[in-house]
Amino acid sequence: MTYRIAICYGRPADPAAFDAHYAETHVPLARKIPGLSAFTWGNCSPLGSGEPPYYMVASLHFPTAEALERALTSAEMKAAGRDVRNFATGGVTMFTQSERSALTP
């Protein structure tokens, strides 16, 4: 089992500014979070008609529940969290999740 923080960003007022800030400023901050074993992000596209509920989804993975808890209280996480208000004009939804693989027993 791995542990994840999911960050779901609503559609920003200025997508180009959001993307630039995210790549140039936010990603370097988030990479410093202790215990991080994987960090992915991507813009959302519809599978059918209509717009997806989120503009972008990021996933921060941790190998253990303890690593996740340490990360949540770290100075690096706090710095990344403070930065969110600088670009997430469309709002943000965050949650943690314990993940199981359907491909491994």
State pLDDT tens for residues 7-35: 999 999 999 999 999 999 999 999 999 99
Which letter does DSSP use for residue 26 in this model? I
Rounded Cα–Cα distance for residues 74 and 101 (Å)? 28
Residue 30 identity (one-letter amino acid)? A
Average pLDDT of the chain to the nearest whole number: 96
Residue 29 identity (one-letter amino acid)? L
Rounded Cα–Cα distance for residues 84 and 21 (Å)? 10
Is the pLDDT reported for residue 71 higher than 80? yes
**Share of residues in the chain with pLDDT > 70 (%):** 100
Three-state DSSP at 95 gives strand
User: Quick one: CATH architecture of 2-99?
Assistant: 2-Layer Sandwich (3.30)
pLDDT value of residue 10: 98
Residue 95 identity (one-letter amino acid)? F
Contact 60, 2 (CB under 8 A): no
Q: What is the mean pLDDT of residues 91-99?
A: 96
